[in-house]
Amino acid sequence: MSVRIAAVGDIHVGTSGTDLGELWSSLDAHADLLLLAGDLTKCGTVEEAEVVARALAGVRVPVVGVLGNHDVHTGHGAAVAAVLEQAGATMLEGAGCTIDVAGTRVGVAGVKGFGGGFPGSSCADFGEPEMKAFVHAARSSAAALAGALAQLDADVLVALMHYAPCRGTLVGEPEGIHAFLGCYQLGEAVDGAGADLAVHGHAHAGSRRGATEGGVPTFNVARPVLAAPYTVLTVDPKRCGGRRDEAVTQ
């Protein structure tokens, strides 16, 4: 049986605006679970998180999410996550969870992630303390993702993050800002764990589909890219671990 995964990020909800509750109200007819790829709020306030929480109240499938850079902007990321968890979402940061979909175990490991770039144009752990701290943040986040993925025993293994783990989904964004949109260390974590699927947001002008260096199908689900309330990724568990490019369709 195929697993239908709805996913979206970068909805940037303020204290007023689009009625996401209405847009997500029939999601269960099209998907078995919903992944939220960060930047769920505009500025990371509890009030904005409460608007998202009200929208989640009408979602009748399991919801798993990570925070994005907007969600931590005011320094209240933990409070934002707590509001969403009270609404029924499982919020991940260096952790994983397993969801049973009609007997298929779907494991999701999540982190916010960080920037740093990709081979040929990446930041180096050298020089000023500020640069070393930047690179350390990227490496630490990737290590947390790798650890969370390694703990999961699942039929379908999904890596969920806000920042991108590969270049392919950044096509369309200016190359000069790729180092601020993702990093290769996240991709190494995804590949090292043998994940079946990677999902991220953050790249508003990027491309929908790419792949890590190891060939793991990777989807940019930023709402500006989707131009829709969510996309549905259909995963065939029988093909996972084999022809990965054929295991996931959108």
Tell me the three state secondary structure of residue 237. Answer: coil
Tell me the three state secondary structure of residue 165. Answer: coil
Q: Are 200 and 10 spatial neighbours (Cβ–Cβ below 8 Å)?
A: no
Q: Which residue has the tokens 């293994």?
A: 157
Q: pLDDT band at residue 250, thresholds of 50, 70 and 90? A: confident
Q: Which residue has the tokens 């982190």?
A: 111
Q: What are the distances in angstroms from CA 239 to CA 31, 155, 232, 234?
A: 19, 10, 18, 12
pLDDT digits (tens, 9 = 90+) for 61-75: 999 999 999 999 999
Please indicate whether residue 134 or residue 18 has the higher confidence score (pLDDT). 134
Q: How far apart are CA 18 and CA 60, in angstroms?
A: 20
Domains and CATH numbers, the chain: 3-249 (3.60.21.10)
pLDDT digits (tens, 9 = 90+) for 85-140: 999 999 999 999 999 999 999 999 999 999 999 998 888 888 999 999 999 999 99
What is residue 56's predicted lDDT score, i.e. its pLDDT? 93
> Average pLDDT over the chain, rounded to whole?
93
- Two tokens, residue 80: 């934002």
Judge whether residue 202 has pLDDT over 90. Answer: yes
Please indicate whether residue 108 or residue 23 has the higher confidence score (pLDDT). 108
Q: How far apart are CA 137 and CA 78, in angstroms?
A: 18
Q: Are 126 and 167 spatial neighbours (Cβ–Cβ below 8 Å)?
A: no
Q: What is the sign, positive or negative, of the torsion defined by CA atoms of 125, 131, 136, 142?
A: negative
Q: Which amino acid belongs to residue 129?
A: P
What is residue 64's predicted lDDT score, i.e. its pLDDT? 98
Strand ranges, E, within 112-207: 117-118, 121-122, 156-161, 197-200
Q: Whole-prediction pTM value?
A: 0.95
CA diameter of the chain: 53
Q: How far apart are CA 209 and CA 220, in angstroms?
A: 6
